[in-house]
Amino acid sequence: MVKILRRYKYRNIKYYNKLIFHKRNKKFAVDLKKIKKKYKIHGIIKFLKKDFKTLKKVFYHFNLQYSGHIEKKNYLLLEIKKRGFLNKNNNEKAPVYATNNLLIYKCFYIRNYVTYENINNFFFRKSLPSTSSKKKLFNEVKIRYKYLLDRFTKDQVFKAGVAITGLKFVKKIKLNEFK
Protein backbone atom coordinates (compact mmCIF):
# COMPACT_ATOMS: atom_id res chain seq x y z
CA MET A 1 0.00 0.00 0.00
CA VAL A 2 1.21 3.49 -0.84
CA LYS A 3 1.81 5.97 1.96
CA ILE A 4 -0.67 8.86 2.04
CA LEU A 5 1.19 12.12 1.46
CA ARG A 6 -0.04 14.98 3.65
CA ARG A 7 -0.42 18.19 1.66
CA TYR A 8 -2.05 20.26 4.42
CA LYS A 9 -1.34 20.74 8.12
CA TYR A 10 -4.89 19.95 9.14
CA ARG A 11 -6.82 16.98 7.78
CA ASN A 12 -10.15 18.73 8.27
CA ILE A 13 -10.46 21.15 5.36
CA LYS A 14 -13.12 23.05 7.32
CA TYR A 15 -10.21 24.54 9.29
CA TYR A 16 -9.41 26.61 6.22
CA ASN A 17 -12.29 29.09 6.33
CA LYS A 18 -10.60 32.27 5.06
CA LEU A 19 -9.23 32.99 1.62
CA ILE A 20 -6.49 35.59 1.33
CA PHE A 21 -6.58 37.81 -1.76
CA HIS A 22 -4.18 40.42 -3.10
CA LYS A 23 -5.27 43.54 -4.92
CA ARG A 24 -3.44 46.84 -5.44
CA ASN A 25 -0.61 45.98 -3.03
CA LYS A 26 -3.05 45.07 -0.24
CA LYS A 27 -3.99 41.70 1.18
CA PHE A 28 -7.44 41.00 2.57
CA ALA A 29 -9.32 37.94 3.78
CA VAL A 30 -12.72 36.76 2.61
CA ASP A 31 -14.90 34.35 4.54
CA LEU A 32 -15.10 31.15 2.51
CA LYS A 33 -18.38 30.16 4.21
CA LYS A 34 -20.18 33.15 2.65
CA ILE A 35 -19.02 32.22 -0.84
CA LYS A 36 -19.90 28.56 -0.31
CA LYS A 37 -23.37 29.40 0.93
CA LYS A 38 -24.23 31.93 -1.78
CA TYR A 39 -22.99 29.85 -4.74
CA LYS A 40 -23.49 26.34 -3.30
CA ILE A 41 -19.78 25.60 -3.59
CA HIS A 42 -18.33 22.46 -2.09
CA GLY A 43 -14.69 23.58 -2.10
CA ILE A 44 -11.91 25.36 -3.94
CA ILE A 45 -9.42 24.26 -6.57
CA LYS A 46 -6.24 26.31 -6.88
CA PHE A 47 -4.23 26.86 -10.05
CA LEU A 48 -0.90 28.48 -10.74
CA LYS A 49 -1.12 31.48 -13.08
CA LYS A 50 0.32 29.56 -16.06
CA ASP A 51 -2.40 26.91 -15.73
CA PHE A 52 -5.21 29.31 -14.90
CA LYS A 53 -4.65 31.13 -18.21
CA THR A 54 -5.20 27.87 -20.11
CA LEU A 55 -8.43 26.69 -18.45
CA LYS A 56 -11.01 25.25 -20.84
CA LYS A 57 -14.80 24.99 -20.62
CA VAL A 58 -14.46 21.24 -20.01
CA PHE A 59 -11.19 19.62 -18.92
CA TYR A 60 -9.55 17.04 -16.67
CA HIS A 61 -7.40 18.15 -13.77
CA PHE A 62 -4.81 16.11 -11.87
CA ASN A 63 -4.01 16.21 -8.16
CA LEU A 64 -1.45 14.25 -6.23
CA GLN A 65 -2.92 10.96 -5.00
CA TYR A 66 -6.33 12.05 -3.67
CA SER A 67 -8.46 15.14 -4.31
CA GLY A 68 -11.51 14.98 -2.05
CA HIS A 69 -13.70 16.21 -4.92
CA ILE A 70 -17.23 14.88 -5.32
CA GLU A 71 -19.15 14.41 -8.56
CA LYS A 72 -22.03 16.85 -9.25
CA LYS A 73 -20.65 19.39 -6.75
CA ASN A 74 -19.53 22.95 -7.63
CA TYR A 75 -16.00 24.18 -7.02
CA LEU A 76 -14.52 27.67 -6.98
CA LEU A 77 -11.41 27.85 -9.16
CA LEU A 78 -8.83 30.40 -8.03
CA GLU A 79 -5.58 31.71 -9.47
CA ILE A 80 -2.67 31.50 -7.04
CA LYS A 81 -0.79 34.79 -6.88
CA LYS A 82 1.66 33.64 -4.19
CA ARG A 83 2.08 30.00 -3.23
CA GLY A 84 1.49 28.60 0.20
CA PHE A 85 3.38 25.67 1.71
CA LEU A 86 3.64 23.07 4.46
CA ASN A 87 7.28 22.33 5.30
CA LYS A 88 8.98 19.49 7.20
CA ASN A 89 8.74 21.49 10.45
CA ASN A 90 4.93 21.45 10.05
CA ASN A 91 4.84 25.21 9.44
CA GLU A 92 2.06 26.19 7.08
CA LYS A 93 1.56 29.35 5.07
CA ALA A 94 -1.70 29.92 3.21
CA PRO A 95 -1.58 30.87 -0.47
CA VAL A 96 -2.58 34.32 -1.67
CA TYR A 97 -5.06 34.46 -4.57
CA ALA A 98 -5.62 36.90 -7.42
CA THR A 99 -8.91 38.83 -7.30
CA ASN A 100 -9.77 38.59 -10.99
CA ASN A 101 -11.40 35.59 -12.61
CA LEU A 102 -13.16 33.68 -9.87
CA LEU A 103 -14.74 30.79 -11.71
CA ILE A 104 -17.26 28.14 -10.73
CA TYR A 105 -16.94 24.68 -12.27
CA LYS A 106 -18.96 21.52 -11.69
CA CYS A 107 -17.20 18.21 -11.11
CA PHE A 108 -18.49 15.49 -13.45
CA TYR A 109 -15.80 12.83 -12.98
CA ILE A 110 -13.49 11.75 -10.15
CA ARG A 111 -11.02 8.90 -9.68
CA ASN A 112 -8.47 8.78 -6.84
CA TYR A 113 -5.25 6.79 -6.39
CA VAL A 114 -4.65 6.23 -10.11
CA THR A 115 -1.12 5.10 -10.95
CA TYR A 116 0.69 6.88 -13.77
CA GLU A 117 0.72 3.64 -15.79
CA ASN A 118 -3.09 3.38 -15.59
CA ILE A 119 -3.94 6.87 -16.85
CA ASN A 120 -5.78 6.63 -20.17
CA ASN A 121 -4.47 8.93 -22.93
CA PHE A 122 -8.01 10.33 -23.26
CA PHE A 123 -7.49 12.27 -20.01
CA PHE A 124 -4.25 13.79 -21.29
CA ARG A 125 -5.90 14.95 -24.52
CA LYS A 126 -8.64 16.72 -22.53
CA SER A 127 -6.35 18.19 -19.85
CA LEU A 128 -4.44 21.46 -19.62
CA PRO A 129 -1.32 21.88 -21.80
CA SER A 130 0.99 21.53 -18.77
CA THR A 131 -0.35 18.02 -18.06
CA SER A 132 -0.94 16.70 -21.59
CA SER A 133 1.38 13.66 -21.27
CA LYS A 134 2.66 11.35 -18.52
CA LYS A 135 6.07 13.01 -18.55
CA LYS A 136 4.58 16.53 -18.41
CA LEU A 137 2.20 15.45 -15.66
CA PHE A 138 4.96 14.04 -13.46
CA ASN A 139 7.08 17.17 -14.00
CA GLU A 140 4.07 19.34 -13.17
CA VAL A 141 3.39 17.35 -9.99
CA LYS A 142 7.02 17.94 -8.95
CA ILE A 143 6.54 21.69 -9.54
CA ARG A 144 3.12 21.97 -7.86
CA TYR A 145 4.09 19.92 -4.84
CA LYS A 146 7.79 20.82 -4.58
CA TYR A 147 7.41 21.49 -0.85
CA LEU A 148 6.69 17.77 -0.42
CA LEU A 149 10.11 16.86 -1.80
CA ASP A 150 11.78 17.96 1.45
CA ARG A 151 9.72 15.26 3.25
CA PHE A 152 9.37 12.57 0.56
CA THR A 153 11.52 11.21 -2.26
CA LYS A 154 10.62 11.65 -5.94
CA ASP A 155 10.00 7.92 -6.07
CA GLN A 156 7.47 8.11 -3.20
CA VAL A 157 5.69 10.99 -4.94
CA PHE A 158 5.65 9.04 -8.21
CA LYS A 159 4.29 5.87 -6.55
CA ALA A 160 1.55 7.88 -4.81
CA GLY A 161 -0.22 8.29 -8.15
CA VAL A 162 -2.80 10.94 -8.98
CA ALA A 163 -6.45 11.85 -8.68
CA ILE A 164 -8.28 12.76 -11.89
CA THR A 165 -11.10 15.32 -11.72
CA GLY A 166 -13.35 16.21 -14.66
CA LEU A 167 -14.58 19.83 -14.53
CA LYS A 168 -17.15 21.77 -16.56
CA PHE A 169 -17.53 25.58 -16.53
CA VAL A 170 -20.65 26.98 -14.82
CA LYS A 171 -20.08 30.73 -14.40
CA LYS A 172 -17.76 33.58 -13.45
CA ILE A 173 -18.30 35.56 -10.23
CA LYS A 174 -16.98 38.86 -8.84
CA LEU A 175 -15.16 39.15 -5.54
CA ASN A 176 -16.47 42.62 -4.61
CA GLU A 177 -19.74 41.03 -3.43
CA PHE A 178 -17.90 39.53 -0.42
CA LYS A 179 -15.80 42.41 0.91
Q: For the residues 101-110, what does the mean pLDDT come to?
A: 95
Q: 13: pLDDT confidence band, cut at 50, 70 and 90?
A: very low
Q: For the residues 61-78, what does the mean pLDDT come to?
A: 91
Amino acid type, 86: L
pLDDT tens sequence across 17-38: 788 888 888 888 888 888 889 8
Q: Where are the domains of the chain?
A: 13-178
Point out which residues pair with 60 in neighbouring strands: 127, 166
Looking from the CA of 68 toward its CB, the CA atoms found within 13 Å total 12
- The predicted pLDDT at position 54 comes to 94
DSSP labels for 106-153? EEEEEEEEE-GGG--HHHHHTB-GGGSSHHHHHHHHHHHTGGGGGTS-
Query: 130: how many CB neighbours lie within 10 A of its CB?
Result: 17
The chain-wide mean pLDDT, for the chain, equals 83
Do 170 and 105 contact (CB within 8 A), yes or no?
yes
For 13-178, CATH number out of 2.40.50.140, 2.30.22.10, 3.90.45.10, 2.30.130.30 equals: 2.30.130.30
Q: 178: pLDDT confidence band, cut at 50, 70 and 90?
A: low
